[in-house]
Amino acid sequence: MRKFFLFTGVFILFLVAVVIAVPFVVDVNNYKGKIEQIVLEKTHRELHINGPISLRVFPSIALKMKDVTLGNPPGFEKGEFATFDQLVAMVKLKPLLNKEVKITKIELVKPIIHLIKVSDDKVNWDFNDLSTKEEDKKDSDNNNVSSIDIDEFTIENGDIHYSDKTKKKIYTVSGLDVNVTNSLVSGLEAHVSLDWNDQKLELDAKTSSLDSILADKGNYPLNLDIKSPLLKLKFEGNTIVQEKLALDGKLDVSSPSVAKLKNWLLVVSDKPDPDMNKPLSLGCLAHLAAERVACKSLALSLAGITLNGDLSAQFPEGKKTSFQGNIHTDSINLDTLMGNKPATATPGSAEKEGDWKQKEVRISGLDKVDGSLRFSAGSVIYRNLKIGKVSGALNIKNQVLSLVLSEVNFYGGMVKGNLDLNQQASTPSYSENWDIKHVALGNVLKDYMGNDRFSGTLDAVIQTKGVGKTYGSLMSSGEGNAHFSLRDGFVRGINLAQIARTVTAPLSSDKESAKTDFSEAHASFVIHKGIAHNEDMTAKSPFILVKGSGDIDLGREWINYLAEPSLIASTQGQGRLGESKGLTVPVRIEGPWADPHIRLEIAQQVVKDLLADPANIGKTLKGYKESTKGLGKSLKSGILGGLGGSKEAPADATQGSQGSSETAPTPEQKQDQEPKKKDAVKDLLNMF
């Protein structure tokens, strides 16, 4: 027995000596070709070990290779996928006897990795489809490794170059340092440092050990901390290991400047970025998974705007993205977020953002998303409009977008309504319904257009629909109806009452002070093929009654409207009206919205009145002659220019016949006066 133990001890010492001596008696560099051949067969990539290989087997196996390159897979341009100045792998010897791989360390020194994306399904870092199922089964049967553990993984001074051929973009990460340690006692810890776009970024993470995570599904604590001069991100919660990985916990994100953060992250907007050089902060209870993202108790502060609420989105594979949410903000300035410019103070001189009529109506991506979002705000600024409390909902379902505004406090009044955009057909369609009550129209126009020509308290009901690929065609196809009423208002730039009572005073040439006041006004429109037609406009004041009719072309932005003011009273009493009482002085408003032409149409009214009462032509003409003294001269001075684009009236013509007396003429007198009446009409027409 003694000899047996002695023999056994000697044999073990011999084996240890052999293991220690192997690296000295066997040159592992002779196996370079074999190693390269195996890698080629397994990965279909060329491996070149240009430097020496060193091997140590005691107390653990340590393999070191220098100057190593790994090529791209077939189908990619010939070149290097990765190069390493040095690659080191250390494996514990004893666990290998039990088919357990215990890697104590993997070290990559100065790796340079080239990632290439040719298309969504073709990338050079895909190692999944490298062998047949039969080969995989054979390898599995032969190797049958029961477990693999890694204690430490490091990268020293690495570079990663990412080339996206689909977008023709190249991105580079340099100075990459990685240290990952794994132990049953302290868990899995990682520290990453890198340079991105001239800024240093550091990441620290800590969770349970890799052994625990791989051994059983469940929840494991995770602390993640990312720091850079432009971004700070902190996550405290759990890693949920199920069929798919998920994170659940408290998320905090902050940045001193949104604009600088976007530039650093290389985020490019289609439109020029507004002034967003303001801080960002976000906090919420987050759930982050491959197919679902949710933020509860959201607190988002962006460019001086704070949002609170809940948001979630789902990304099921092969299906539409969906979202749900309920958000609130005390105040929000959409002009700041969207980069809108304030209204100009000069009417008609506002800058246009291109030709809006040629812009596409269709919203890109509406066919790929469904969802609903409820929202509310204490106050909103949009296009310089100062809006009060707002509440509503946005819904998207099967390419139909619906905006419902249940409450909008708008310039002293209230607006409610809905807008639907349907993109199910090749040509989008829309419908809208609005109920507007007690809105101060003058303040709206002043803030939105820099225009104070109109004022009054507005009530309106609008129902329209249309079809079109561009906003211009959509407006030109409009169908529907609308009713408007205004109370206690005015139209600045023209004094219709003064025009109607020129029998007692010449017209003023002060365009700035010219104004038509009214106590109430009403108008109904029928909209057909983009043209809003009106026949029942009335505006009343203590002194005049204005009636109107005409068309407003929504697609062409053109107006053709006739206003007919009649003097019904005087500040000096009804006795001072004389022949001018009831006189109608038609005013034609025609041209583009931004610069309409305004002219009087006395001639048409004269002919109309003469034909209405042929027996009293003389009396009618006398009334017009008295009522229009000095009117032509006043018009020539430009008093109608207040609304813009007014044409000058011709100079006064020489006065002709004064007409007949008020007593009914005899047949002979009628025959004698006929040429004189014609001359009087000509003289009157020549005045305009």
pLDDT tens for 395-436 read 999 999 999 999 999 999 999 999 999 999 999 999 999 999
- Residue 593 has a pLDDT of 81
- Residue 653 has a pLDDT of 35
Judged by DSSP in three states, 76 sits in coil
Mean pLDDT on 109-113: 95
The pairing of strands 454-467 and 187-196 is: unpaired
- Residue 661 has a pLDDT of 38
Average pLDDT, the chain: 78
Lowest mean pLDDT among 101-105, 317-321, 442-446, 510-514: 510-514
Mean pLDDT on 576-593: 69
Mean pLDDT on 160-184: 91
Judged by DSSP in three states, 669 sits in helix
Phi-psi sector, 345: left (phi>0), alpha (psi -120 to 50), beta:
alpha
Mean pLDDT on 232-247: 90
Residue 497's contacts (CB-CB under 8 Å, 6 or more residues apart) are 516, 517, 541, 543, 544, 565, 567
Question: Would you say residue 529 has pLDDT above 90?
Answer: yes
Please report, for residues 136, 145, 164, 208, 241, the alpha-carbon distance to residue 211 in angstroms, rounded to integers and kept in the order given.
Answer: 24, 15, 36, 8, 13
Of 337 and 18, the structure prediction assigns the larger pLDDT to 337
pLDDT tens for 307-356 read 999 999 999 988 999 999 999 999 998 887 776 665 554 444 444 544 77
Question: Would you say residue 599 has pLDDT above 60?
Answer: yes
pLDDT tens for 435-473 read 999 999 999 989 988 877 788 999 999 999 999 999 889
Please report, for residues 292, 432, 521, the alpha-carbon distance to residue 666 in angstroms, rounded to integers and kept in the order given.
Answer: 97, 64, 46
Strand locations in 473-611 (E): 479-492, 515-528, 531-540, 544-553, 558-567, 587-592, 597-600
Burial annotation 398-426 (CB, 10 A radius, 16+ → b, else e): ebebbeebeebbbbebbbbbeebbbbeee
CA distance 205 to 187: 11
- Residue 500 has a pLDDT of 56
Of 542 and 86, the structure prediction assigns the larger pLDDT to 86
- Residue 344 has a pLDDT of 53
- Residue 121 has a pLDDT of 84
Task: Work out the pLDDT band at 594, boundaries 50, 70, 90.
Answer: confident
- Residue 85 has a pLDDT of 95
Question: Would you say residue 5 has pLDDT above 60?
Answer: no
Question: Would you say residue 376 has pLDDT above 80?
Answer: yes
CA distance 639 to 648: 9
Cβ-based neighbour number of residue 218 at 10 Å: 13
Residue 278: burial class (beta carbons within 10 Å; 0-12, 13-18, 19+): middle
Task: Work out the pLDDT band at 297, boundaries 50, 70, 90.
Answer: very high
For residue 396, give both structure tokens: 């998207």
- Residue 683 has a pLDDT of 41
Lowest mean pLDDT among 138-142, 402-406, 473-477, 642-646: 642-646
Residue 565: asked if its preceding bond is cis (omega within 30°), the reply is: no
Helices and strands (H, E) in the chain, number of each type: 13, 34
Task: Work out the pLDDT band at 199, boundaries 50, 70, 90.
Answer: very high
CA distance 469 to 38: 60
Residue 86's contacts (CB-CB under 8 Å, 6 or more residues apart) are 51, 64, 65, 66, 67, 107, 108, 109, 110
- Residue 597 has a pLDDT of 85
